[in-house]
Amino acid sequence: MLALVGGDEWRDGCTFDAELLEASGGAEVLVLPTAAAFEHPERAVDTARQWFAGLGGEVRPLMVLRRADAMDAESAATVRAARFVYLSGGSPLHLRSVLKDSLLWDALVHAWSEGAVVAGSSAGAMTLCDPMVDPRGGAFTVGLGLVTQLAVVAHRTTWSEDKLRRAIELAGSGIPVVAIDERTALIRGADGSWKMQGSGTVAVFLDGEPAGLDALPH
């Protein structure tokens, strides 16, 4: 299962987290605050710990903050064995630079292929996809590509209509763009189907026009 969250993770309204925890088959959530490396990552971990404690879960932080951390074999082994990995919000460009072509990224892909739950919020959601939307201007760049042929606009409510329209227009032919509200998740099940959960909405655009969830890659 994969969850792409629009931001403001681990707060009231994120009703989907209970389902993700249950789907993982365990009680432990491995939290990577990588994207928040320059924004007090320990605070992200504390927020996650308090939130999941209320859901009967336990957070295990993995402080992968630099490129060297992502190349550490022990950290990669921890991710490979995890049943629920959650990437926090922050800087998508930093997250990509740390994880791309790393031992830890290979381990995350392996864990997901073996049925682990993977969730990314804000920067995490944007970077897991390829292409990746550059939040600075709405243009496109290379993402990590856990899911390909899909682009995510997180924190949709903070984007002006002009900026969102630019991102939609810049997307290549046949590439869906999904704009996700805060505290809202676009969830892909093991069968490849997609659904929306949380306190907000998800808008899908394909070739410049509104589309449904059936336009997303399976």
Residue 217 lies in a domain: no
Q: What is the pTM of this model?
A: 0.96
> Which strands, in side-by-side order, build the sheet including 2-5?
58-61, 28-32, 84-87, 117-121, 2-5, 184-188, 194-198
pLDDT at residue 138 in the model? 72
Q: Are 182 and 157 in contact (CB under 8 A)?
A: yes
Residue 73 lies in a domain: yes
Residue 218 lies in a domain: no
Residue 101: Cβ within 10 Å count: 9
Residue 153 lies in a domain: yes
Q: Along the 218 residues of the chain, how does pLDDT read in single tens digits?
A: 999 999 999 999 999 999 999 999 999 999 999 999 999 999 999 999 999 999 999 999 999 999 999 999 999 999 999 999 999 999 999 999 999 999 999 999 999 999 999 999 999 999 999 999 987 777 899 999 999 999 999 999 999 999 899 889 988 889 999 999 999 999 999 999 999 999 999 999 999 999 999 999 98
DSSP annotation of 146 reads S
Distance CA 56, CA 199 (A): 21
CATH code assigned at 124: 3.40.50.880
Residue 165 lies in a domain: yes
Q: How many CA atoms lie within 13 A of 171 on its CB side?
A: 28
Domain count, the chain: 1
Q: What is each CA distance from 202 to 4, 15, 24, 43, 183, in whole angstroms?
A: 10, 15, 24, 27, 11
| Residue 209 one-letter amino acid | E
Residue 206 lies in a domain: yes
| Residue 77 one-letter amino acid | A
pLDDT at residue 135 in the model? 79
Query: In this structure, are strands 184-188 and 2-5 parallel, antiparallel, or unpaired?
Result: antiparallel
Q: Are 46 and 83 in contact (CB under 8 A)?
A: no
Residues 147, 65, 179: CA angle, nearest 5 degrees: 35
Residue 17 lies in a domain: yes
Residue 216 lies in a domain: no
Range of the domain at 202: 2-211
